[in-house]
């Protein structure tokens, strides 16, 4: 593709910058009024207690959805939920071809089978080392090491310069799954010329280098060998390398392995089909849990982030249909806490301790290693690729700032911090933010997607905090009451004081308010509704000091 003087190369994140998860990046090429785009990654994050009812948190992609005819393709770097988990939900708004590796393709197909009404998404398979054209861009995949099979970085070539989008990566001199990060490939790209490095910042605050996955496997083997009861190890369900490490460690200790958790089972099925669990004995089924001696089993299970419905959450409440724990069993957290999940994880750990279960955490011994680069590894990447512009992504503000400072210290000529919605022009000229577009969050709630107002989440949040009062009045055309008022109080204190029920007090307030309204004005239903609602709100505030939702319904017959 040729270039003209009006063409621009831009980078625009709509998710994943200033936060962990929900990665969604746009690259655009062409004149300002007629750019063509590609998307790199379409990820989710997960809701906390402040989003009652929401199932998933998705990036707001209105900007590109409104010009989807200019979108030439979607490229997925790997099959972690925060990089591909929103594709099935958001693809109908984009309808662009999707490019991914074989493992990511298989994971997408398995995920689609479990989601009602999942769209049929056209997939084009590529492998590390291959190049392919997507609209204005030539894309080349580079093998990297991460905690899942077939992760790739992308060299994105355009007439105005080349960009390396690292995705998630790390350096590991002895990975248990796949090959090491392809240093030679990155060096070749650096010699070719790299305009910008858009780089993972997750561990930019951590000094040194990451331990190897082999070291984790050896440490886990020692933990399992020394345990006297059951050993349960919870980790991210997509961490196939860790699953393999645990299985190998269990085999060395003479124990069989069981999988608990639907997402783990799905990953293991795909991994076996593609050969990533070759040589690993078949896993036990969960209905064998009680029949296997405690000293002869290792259980790999979901729930490392405190998810209430995951296998570990159910076990901590003794609600699992086929499994239960006993004093002397051990739960190993082979993971680290994603920011925001600390409270839920701690609640589960405390519940396990109350059951007499031993807890082993990362930091107490080596049971986990991150899939993201520390500072020495980041500096190695800068040296290999020699970028003119450094763009920190994939992290909270403190991670982004830490990497921006590190890039400057390492001699990257220009560092361009961005946040979600910032349109960064990479070329021509010096990199600079030239626009800001709407970027935010939408929510998958059952089978529907919308913002918190459209999905009713704002109202649900209020309901969860302070409850709901509903009062109905039936009047005739003259404004006279035809029946006693009906009142329902949900989520309010039962008693207003030591003698009077809250509902009874509010009932009296509603009747008193009705009586004070002149008969001619009672005929107006909206006037009556507003007056009664105002009176109820004032009474509740005086008694309780809070403001529940109040619905006054006047029916005129």
* pTM higher than 0.75: yes
- Count of residues making up the chain: 557
The residue-averaged pLDDT of 325-344 equals 89
Q: What percent of the chain has pLDDT over 90?
A: 80
445 pLDDT above the threshold of 90: no
**Angle, alpha carbons 250-253-257 (nearest 5°):** 30
The residue-averaged pLDDT of 247-274 equals 93
**Angle, alpha carbons 14-19-21 (nearest 5°):** 75
- φ/ψ bin of 381: left (φ > 0), alpha (ψ from -120 to 50), beta (otherwise): alpha
For residue 246, name the pLDDT band (cuts at 50, 70, 90): very high
| Both structure tokens of 264 | 């783990």
Give the pLDDT of residue 50: 75
- 8 Å CB contact between 425 and 10: yes
For residue 420, name the pLDDT band (cuts at 50, 70, 90): very high
Whose CA is closest to 395, among 342, 318, 477, 338?
Answer: 338
Give the pLDDT of residue 213: 86
**Minimum mean pLDDT range among 57-61, 254-258, 281-285, 449-453:** 449-453
The residue-averaged pLDDT of 470-496 equals 93
214 pLDDT above the threshold of 90: no
53 pLDDT above the threshold of 80: no
Give the pLDDT of residue 114: 83
Sign of the Cα pseudo-torsion (345, 347, 350, 355, in order): negative
Give the pLDDT of residue 337: 82
For residue 464, name the pLDDT band (cuts at 50, 70, 90): confident
CATH superfamily, domain at 8-208+370-450: Ribonuclease Z/Hydroxyacylglutathione hydrolase-like (3.60.15.10)
User: Using one digit for the tens of pLDDT, what is the confidence trace for 164-183?
Assistant: 999 999 999 888 887 899 99
Give the pLDDT of residue 3: 61
**Minimum mean pLDDT range among 58-67, 242-251, 394-403:** 242-251
| Both structure tokens of 443 | 């929510």
Q: Does domain 467-556 have CATH number 3.10.20.580?
A: yes
**Angle, alpha carbons 249-104-178 (nearest 5°):** 40
Higher per-residue pLDDT: 52 or 364: 364
CATH superfamily, domain at 213-361: Metallo-hydrolase/oxidoreductase (3.40.50.10710)
- 8 Å CB contact between 194 and 386: yes
Give the pLDDT of residue 26: 98
Give the pLDDT of residue 354: 96
For residue 2, name the pLDDT band (cuts at 50, 70, 90): low
**Angle, alpha carbons 306-269-248 (nearest 5°):** 75
Tokens 């662009």 sit on residue? 96
In order, the DSSP letters of 105-128 are: HHHHHHHHHTSTT-----EEE--T
Higher per-residue pLDDT: 343 or 419: 419
Q: What percent of the chain has pLDDT over 70?
A: 99
- φ/ψ bin of 497: left (φ > 0), alpha (ψ from -120 to 50), beta (otherwise): beta
For residue 184, name the pLDDT band (cuts at 50, 70, 90): very high
Whose CA is closest to 349, among 312, 319, 321?
Answer: 312
Burial of 354 (0-12, 13-18, 19+ CB in 10 A): exposed
At residue 346, the 3 state secondary structure works out as: helix
The residue-averaged pLDDT of 77-89 equals 95
| Both structure tokens of 518 | 């002149």
Higher per-residue pLDDT: 463 or 333: 333
Give the pLDDT of residue 5: 76
User: Using one digit for the tens of pLDDT, what is the confidence trace for 514-525?
Assistant: 999 998 898 899
**Minimum mean pLDDT range among 2-6, 115-119, 246-250, 292-296:** 2-6
Around Cβ 167, how many Cβ atoms within 10 Å?
28
- 8 Å CB contact between 361 and 368: no
The residue-averaged pLDDT of 155-167 equals 98
The residue-averaged pLDDT of 226-252 equals 92
Around Cβ 465, how many Cβ atoms within 10 Å?
13
- 8 Å CB contact between 485 and 504: no
The residue-averaged pLDDT of 128-156 equals 96
Q: What residues does each domain of the chain span?
A: 8-208+370-450, 213-361, 467-556
Name the average pLDDT for the chain.
93
Which contacts (CB < 8 Å, 24+ apart) does range 479-487 have?
A: 479/519, 479/520, 479/521, 479/522, 479/523, 479/524, 479/528, 480/522, 481/514, 482/557, 485/510, 485/511
Whose CA is closest to 178, among 131, 130, 144, 155?
Answer: 144
For residue 1, name the pLDDT band (cuts at 50, 70, 90): low
300 pLDDT above the threshold of 80: yes
Higher per-residue pLDDT: 308 or 430: 430
């Amino acid at each position: 593709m040729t270039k003209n003087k009006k063409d621009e190369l831009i980078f625009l994140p709509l998710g994943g910058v200033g936060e962990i998860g929900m990665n969604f990046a746009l690259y655009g090429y062409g004149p300002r009024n007629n750019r063509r785009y590609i998307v790199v990654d379409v990820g989710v994050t997960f809701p906390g207690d402040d989003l009652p009812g929401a199932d998933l948190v998705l990036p707001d992609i209105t900007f590109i959805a409104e010009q989807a005819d200019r979108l030439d393709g979607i490229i997925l770097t790997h099959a972690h939920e925060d990089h591909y988990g929103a594709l099935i939900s958001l693809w109908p708004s984009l309808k662009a071809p999707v490019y991914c590796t074989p493992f990511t393709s298989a994971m997408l197909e398995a995920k689609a089978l479990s989601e009602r009404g999942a769209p049929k998404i056209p997939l084009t398979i590529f492998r590390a080392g291959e190049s392919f054209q997507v609209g204005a861009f030539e894309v080349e995949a580079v093998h990297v090491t991460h905690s899942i099979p077939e992760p790739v970085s992308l060299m994105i070539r355009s007439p105005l310069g080349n960009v390396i989008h690292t995705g998630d990566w790390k350096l590991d001199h002895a990975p248990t799954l796949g090959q090491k990060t392809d240093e030679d490939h990155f060096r070749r790209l650096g010699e070719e010329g790299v305009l910008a490095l858009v780089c993972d910042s997750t561990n930019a605050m951590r000094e040194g280098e990451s331990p190897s996955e082999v070291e984790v496997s050896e440490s886990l083997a020692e933990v399992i060998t020394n345990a006297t009861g059951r050993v349960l190890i919870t980790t991210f369900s997509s961490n196939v390398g860790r699953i393999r490490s645990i299985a190998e460690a269990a085999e060395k200790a003479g124990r069989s392995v069981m999988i608990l958790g639907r997402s783990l089972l799905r990953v293991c099925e795909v991994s076996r089909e593609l050969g990533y669990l070759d040589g690993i004995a078949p896993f036990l089924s969960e209905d064998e849990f009680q029949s296997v001696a405690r000293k002869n089993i290792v259980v790999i299970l979901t729930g490392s982030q405190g998810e209430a419905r995951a296998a570990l959450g159910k076990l901590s409440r003794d609600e699992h249909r086929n499994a239960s724990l006993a004093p002397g069993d051990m739960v190993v957290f082979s993971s680290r806490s994603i920011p925001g999940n600390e409270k839920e994880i701690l609640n589960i750990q405390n519940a396990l301790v109350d059951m007499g279960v031993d807890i082993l955490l990362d930091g107490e011994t080596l049971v986990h290693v991150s899939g993201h680069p520390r500072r020495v590894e980041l500096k190695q990447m800068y040296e290999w690729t020699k970028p003119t512009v450094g763009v920190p992504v994939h992290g909270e503000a403190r991670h982004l700032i830490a990497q921006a400072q590190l890039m400057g210290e390492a001699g990257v000529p220009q560092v361009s911090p961005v946040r979600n919605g910032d349109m960064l022009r990479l070329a021509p000229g010096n990199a600079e933010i030239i626009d800001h577009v709407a970027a935010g969050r939408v929510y998958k709630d059952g089978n529907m997607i919308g913002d918190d107002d459209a999905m009713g989440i704002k109202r649900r949040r209020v309901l969860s905090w302070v409850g709901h009062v509903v009062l109905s009045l039936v009047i005739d055309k003259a404004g006279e009451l035809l029946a006693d008022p009906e009142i329902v109080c949900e989520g309010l204190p039962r008693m207003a004081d030591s003698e009077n029920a809250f509902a009874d007090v509010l009932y009296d307030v509603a009747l008193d308010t009705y009586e004070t309204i002149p008969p001619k004005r009672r005929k107006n239903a909206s006037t009556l509704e507003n007056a009664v609602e105002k009176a109820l709100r004032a009474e509740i505030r005086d008694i309780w000091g809070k403001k529940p939702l109040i619905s006054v319904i006047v029916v005129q017959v």
